[in-house]
Amino acid sequence: MPLHLKVLCLSLLLLGVPASADAKSQNILPPVPTPTDVTPGSITCDECPYPYPSTYLDISVYNQDVRISYMDVGPTSTVNGHTVLLLHGNNFGGFYFKAIIDGLTAAGFRVIVPDQIGYGKSSKPIAPYNFNSQARNTWLILQAEQVEKVMVVGHSMGGMLATRFTTQYPESVERLVVYNPIGLSDGRFRRPMAPVDQIYERILQTDYQSTRRSLSRYVGHDPTAWNDEFETYTRIRYSWTLSADWPRLALVQALISQMLYGDPVVYDWAHIHVPTLAFGGAEDLLLGPAAEFQERMHVLANTVPNGNGRVLLLPGLGHVPHLEAPDIVVPPLVAFLEEGVGGSQ
């Protein structure tokens, strides 16, 4: 499939949308009936399995009063004096990070895990979305918590946001981990963006089967890696489509697709001035063959100036490796961040 079509399909699949006949027919997992025990879910994720309590901060977005949610989890061992900012991907909120949170807090880190505006327990305003505003909203959390310095870890879309946060607030960032990111190339010049109304109509068609197909891409390298956690998050996303508020969330997701298309961060890489790890599962198939993902991760690391970029890709794991094999994923992630403990870079 040509790269421009891959980019289009990826954008729609990340939103749980049946992008094309090819995408519809791609059953990575054995088919199962649509469950009948899923009830309408709150679009503010009231039923989502958050591992720790959430705090809310009132902010303004495009002159709308909204609230941004975040978990703030303290260390469970000797305090090391550092805070990790953990940024979620597009198909998730902070709820899927328990294994990483626990690994970090056990190493003495404080961990702050926002739900970005438009996601999770945070507000869902009808407004433009871009990474600059999401970075500012995140920075407001740190200001409210009087946190001056963070080590930033961003997964998938969160890797794009982590990159932008690092270049927008360079004095606030000690280290950066870009973890199985999307947005590793700028696809704007390969295709025009679909009209938001058209994307919205497609998203409205989302159901359990299209959601399961979309998330199954994460285990395309090894369908046996599909587990109860992936299935839980499929059911959560499906429950939103049954809600009376689904049209609002669908419109928010359509607006977010503009951010993913029109706000690339590949040009930010050359402006990162902290130790940076391009990290994650080596068999990520969202770009196409895993070799394409691996090559772009090396480009990312090599573009970070002054030799500050490095790559660590874990063989046999896909796009969300901490849901596949947390015992393999968490230790090297923690080890990279611990290199910065004590003020050393």
Binned at pLDDT 50, 70 and 90, residue 6 comes out as very low
Binned at pLDDT 50, 70 and 90, residue 23 comes out as very low
Q: Does 325 fall in a domain? A: yes
Which residues partner with 58 through β-bridges? Answer: 67
Tokens of 94: 């902070």
Binned at pLDDT 50, 70 and 90, residue 26 comes out as low
Question: How far apart are the C-alpha atoms of 208 and 198, rounded to whole Å?
Answer: 21
Q: Does 66 fall in a domain? A: yes
Calculate the alpha carbon distances from 166 to 95, 111, 308 in Å.
23, 17, 14
Segment 46-102, tens digit of pLDDT: 999 999 999 999 999 999 999 999 999 999 999 999 999 999 999 999 999 999 999
Q: Does 235 fall in a domain? A: yes
| Structural domain containing residue 155 | 3-18+32-179+197-338
Sign of CA dihedral 24, 27, 29, 35: positive
Q: Does 189 fall in a domain? A: no
pTM: 0.93
Binned at pLDDT 50, 70 and 90, residue 12 comes out as very low
Q: Does 46 fall in a domain? A: yes
CATH number at residue 112: 3.40.50.1820
Number of domains in the chain: 1
Return all residues near 124 (Cβ < 8 A) that are at least 6 apart: 43, 44, 117, 118, 248, 249, 252
